[in-house]
Chains A and B, each alone.
Chain A
Amino acid sequence: MDPNEVEFLGEKQLVSIVPNFNFDMIHLISGSIGPFRAGLPVKIPIWLAINLKQQHKCRIIGQEWMDVEDLKNIKEEEKKSKVFTKMPSNHYMDEVHMLLGAASDDIPNADEIRTAVKDIWDIRMSKLRTSINAFLKSEGTHAKLDHLTAMEINNVRPLLPHALDQMVRLQQIGQASATADSREESQNMSSI
C-alpha cells in the first residue's frame, strides 16, 4: 500500500477547527458535520479541515496529544519499554504530517512536535526491525503486533510478510511442490 493511501485513511480522523463562518449542519454520507458557528470549535474530518484551512475559512486546533511535553514523555516511555507502547492515535505519523503541513501557523511549537514525533518513529522502527529479526529466527509462525500503528505496519510491508512467505515455502519443500516440473513425472507417457 502506498503511504498516500494510509494517509487517506488517516484523513478520516476528526480534528477540531474554529471556523470563521456560519453554516448549518451538512449531512455527508460518512456522517453529519456542523453546524458551524464563527469562533466556536467544531470537530470535522481532517480532509475537510485541511481544505477549509486552504481556503482560509478556519483555524485548525491540533490534536490534544500534539503537545511537546506529552510527546517527550511518550518518547521516554517508548525508550524504556521493551514492547511497543500505545500511541495516542493509530495514525499519529500521518496526522502530524498532514496537520503540521497545512497549519503549522495554527499549531504552537510545530517544529518541536515534528522532531519529537520523528524521534518516536525512529525508536519504534528500530525496535520493530530488531523484533522482526528475532521473530524470524524463532520457530514462530504467528506474531502479535499490538499498538503498531497504520503507517508503521505499512512500512514493513511487504518485507516482513514476504520473508515469512518464503520461509514457509522453504519449510514446505520435501512435501508437495508447486512447480510444473514436479508434475512432469505423473503426466502420462501414453500421450506420446
Chain B
Amino acid sequence: MEEVDEVVEENAEFLEESDEDGGVTAQSVLQDIENAWLNEKFAPEILPHQSDAVECMLQQISHMEDNMKSLGKGSMKSLIHQMEINRIRFIISSYLRCRLEKIEQYAMHILTEEAQRGREDGYLSSDELRFAKDYLSSIELLFRTLALQHMPNVLQKFEIETMTVKPNIHAHVFLRANKRITGIIVPGTVDEEVDFEEGSQHIVQYSAVADLVKNGDIQLI
C-alpha cells in the first residue's frame, strides 16, 4: 500500500522538488489557473489562453486518477485526492466554458483580432481557434440558407463591419493590485491619473488596466 501511495503522489512531489531549481510546482500552476479563471470570468474581452498550464494540470490529474485505481476504493486517502481533483476539474471546466462563451459571443471580433496576431502570441489555443472558425461559419451558413440568399443581391453580404459584436472594454471591473503600480490613466470627463498600492482593491474601467491584467500585475476579483 505504501508503494502505491508514493506513486500517487510522485507527480506532486516531483513538481514540488523542481521548485528549488526555480521551476514550477504543481501548486503554482494550480494557482495560475485559478487566477486565469477569475480574470477570464470578469474581464469583458477574451484573455490570452493558458493552455500549457491547463494541459499540465489535466495530465497531473489523469496520472493521479490512474494511480488511485490501485489504491483501493473508499480509502480515505483516495477520497481526499478525489475531492481535490473534483475541485480542480471544476475550475478548469468553468474557465474553459467562460472562454467558449466569449468566443461564441464575439466570434467575428475575436477572429479579426486573432488574424492580426502572430501564431505565437495568439490569444486562442489552436483548438479554440478551430472552434471559433467552425462556429462562425455555421452561423454564416444558416444566415445564408434561411435569409441572405433570398435577399436582393446587394444585401446578401455578411457585413463584418456592422455585424461584429464587440466586448465592452470600458466595462467596470473589480481588481486587486498585486504590486504597487503608478500612473494608471483612468478615462473620464477629465482623464485622471491614479496609483495603486500593493494589495489595494479598486473598481475601474477595464480598458484602463487591460495590459496590467494580462501581465499579471493586476488580479480581477
Check B201–A26 contact: CB distance below 8 A.
no
Q: Which A residues are in CB contact (< 8 Å) with B162? A: 180, 183, 187
Compute how far the CA of A156 lies from the CA of B75 in the bound complex, rounded to whole angstroms.
Answer: 43
- Give 1 or 0 for each of A1-16: 1 = CB within 8 Å of chain B CB: 1000100100000000
Check A165–B84 contact: CB distance below 8 A.
no
CB distance from A102 to the nearest CB of B (A): 14
Q: Report which of B88, B161, B172, B186 forms a contact with A165, defined as CB distance below 8 A.
A: B172
> What number of residue pairs across chains A and B have CB atoms under 8 A from each other?
102
Chain B interfacial residues counted at CB < 8 A: 46
Question: Quick check: is A153 within 8 A (CB to CB) of the other chain?
Answer: yes
Question: Quick check: is B93 within 8 A (CB to CB) of the other chain?
Answer: no
Q: Report which of A21, A24, A47, A162 forms a contact with B87, defined as CB distance below 8 A.
A: A47
Check B30–A29 contact: CB distance below 8 A.
yes
Check A47–B192 contact: CB distance below 8 A.
no
User: A30, A160, A171 — which one has the most chain B CB atoms within 10 A of its CB?
Assistant: A30
Chain A interface main SS type: mixed
Pick from B9-17, B108-116, B119-127 the stretch touching chain A.
Answer: B9-17
In chain A, what residue has the closest Cβ to B191?
A: A141
Q: Which B residues are in CB contact (< 8 Å) with A145? A: 174, 201-203
Check B87–A161 contact: CB distance below 8 A.
no
Q: Which B residues are in CB contact (< 8 Å) with A27? A: 9, 12-13, 16
Question: Quick check: is B148 within 8 A (CB to CB) of the other chain?
Answer: no
In chain B, what residue has the closest Cβ to A150?
A: B221
With A30-B27, A141-B188, A147-B201 given, can you name 7 additional A-B contacts, CB distance below 8 Å? A5-B94, A29-B61, A141-B186, A143-B202, A161-B171, A161-B173, A168-B205
| Interface positions of B (Cβ within 8 A of A) | 5, 9, 12-13, 16, 26-27, 30, 41, 57, 60-61, 64, 76-77, 80-81, 83-84, 87-88, 90, 94, 154, 161-162, 168, 170-174, 186-189, 192, 194, 200-205, 208, 221
20 residue pairs bridging A and B, Cβ less than 8 Å apart? A8-B90, A21-B76, A26-B80, A27-B12, A31-B27, A32-B16, A141-B188, A141-B192, A142-B192, A142-B204, A143-B204, A145-B201, A145-B202, A145-B203, A146-B201, A150-B221, A153-B221, A160-B203, A183-B161, A187-B162
| Interface positions of A (Cβ within 8 A of B) | 1, 5, 8, 21, 23-24, 26-32, 47-48, 51, 57, 139-148, 150, 153, 157, 160-162, 164-165, 168, 171, 180, 183, 187, 191-192
